[in-house]
Amino acid sequence: MIKPLGSDKLMPLYVADDAKRAELIKEAEGLPSIIISSAAAGNAVMLAGGYFTPMTGYMNVADSMSVAKTMKTTAGQFWPTPLLNVVEDASAVKDAKRIALKDPNVEGNPVIAIQDVESIEEFTADQMATMTKEIYGTDDMDHVGVKAFNTVGKTCIAGPIQVLNYSYFDKEFAGTFKTAVEIREDMGKLGWEKIVAFQTRNPMHLAHEELCRMAYNDEKADGILIHMLLGKLKKGDIPADVRDKCIRKMAEVYFEPNTVMITGYGFDMLYAGPREAVLHACFRQNCGCTHLIVGRDHAGVGDYYGPFDAQTIFDNISKDDLQIDIYRADHTAYSKKLDKVVMMSRVENHTKEDFVLLSGTKVREMLGQVIKPPKEFSRPEVADILIEYYRSINK
């Protein structure tokens, strides 16, 4: 395993001491409070679990702009995306030095964290536009990430936090949600030193499975961390519980025992393409992984990014800033000649007609019509779970 980002050890911000946490929960009852955005709540959960080591809280305007433009804070710490608590109206906490942050995603809006307020500032329209373009590569409000980023407010509340719970993630996804601390501990118990991480927000089809196997074999790894996003997605994406079931079935049937660890993390998808790929690399390094698989259009949406932009962004990142290695995956497809999924660039004597090329859109259309995807695309056990899900929502 490799060291965490910018630190010799993980820095989880969850208050693990029961007595201290109870004291803070009591204190929160008397503090000025504000309901934060889902994105800010996700940031708190990631900070709580050590995923966002070495960050200690939410960034101010200067650090946010510096990170957006250079992927470094004003103090020089490498980080790829602004870590924000922005709201539309901060009047409820004006002049407060310590505030309670309420969770928008849990009924009753319980306090998720306490924040020491270092500053409350407004992003200008120009600053919002600059951050948007730098992070997302576009200012098109039809881009789901751009729209989300620009509709939660411009008032930036900066300062360190102490996190009191993991929102809904540890309850709704018990057994799957894990902190970076827990993942490192579990991999240590298995004796894993070289670990390949696979990021997913979708059920894994056959090409994903083979990609994990290729990386595992090519890098002579000890294990594979299949790490799924459990937070909010865009309309039409498969719910996390269905994805979880699909991935577990695939691993159970098709991978050797003790070679795959299936876990999830509590964060909303940004759909920021290359910048989000770098963020994925940061917190997989914090998990202890030595390699991250980055494939075609990693963390992308629509046609906003080139197919391999999320790989080439790493060309300009120093090993002094980010130690994890990137396993760069090319186009994968099922070869009718070889009767298996291959990286298309690795096989000889193939024409386009020798591959089964199915887009994710085409497969979603098939599933929407309750048609089982072909064996060249999906394992039958996984397809059965997906068909059951689509049948349930089409009733």
Dump pLDDT digits (tens) for 32-56: 999 999 999 999 999 999 999 999 9
pLDDT at position 272: 93
Closest to 236 measured CA to CA, from 333, 360, 73, 332: 360
Active site residue 201: yes
From 21, 98, 109, 202, active-site residue: 202
- Per-residue pLDDT of the chain (395 residues), as tens digits, is 899 999 999 999 999 999 999 999 999 999 999 999 999 999 999 999 999 999 999 999 999 999 999 999 999 999 999 999 999 999 999 999 999 999 999 999 999 999 999 999 999 999 999 999 999 999 999 999 999 999 999 999 999 999 999 999 999 999 899 999 999 999 999 999 999 999 988 888 888 899 999 999 999 999 999 999 998 776 767 888 888 999 999 999 999 989 999 999 999 989 999 999 999 999 999 999 999 999 887 888 888 998 899 999 999 999 999 999 999 988 888 888 888 888 888 888 888 888 887 666 677 778 878 888 888 888 889 888 988 888 888 76
Residue type, position 173, single letter: F
From 21, 98, 201, 296, active-site residue: 201
| 373 token code pair | 């995807």
- Please give the domain boundaries of the chain with CATH numbers for all domains: 18-170 (3.10.400.10), 174-393 (3.40.50.620)
CA separation for the pair 296, 211 (Å, rounded): 11
Torsion of CA 72, 73, 79, 83, to 10 degrees: -140
Contact 128, 150 (CB under 8 A): yes
Local structure of residue 344 (DSSP, 8 states):
G
- Residue 288: CB atoms within 10 A of its CB come to 24
pLDDT at position 341: 86
pLDDT at position 59: 98
Q: Taking the mean position of all CA atoms in its chain, how far away is CA 44?
A: 14
pLDDT at position 358: 65
CA separation for the pair 248, 302 (Å, rounded): 28
| 35 token code pair | 């309901």
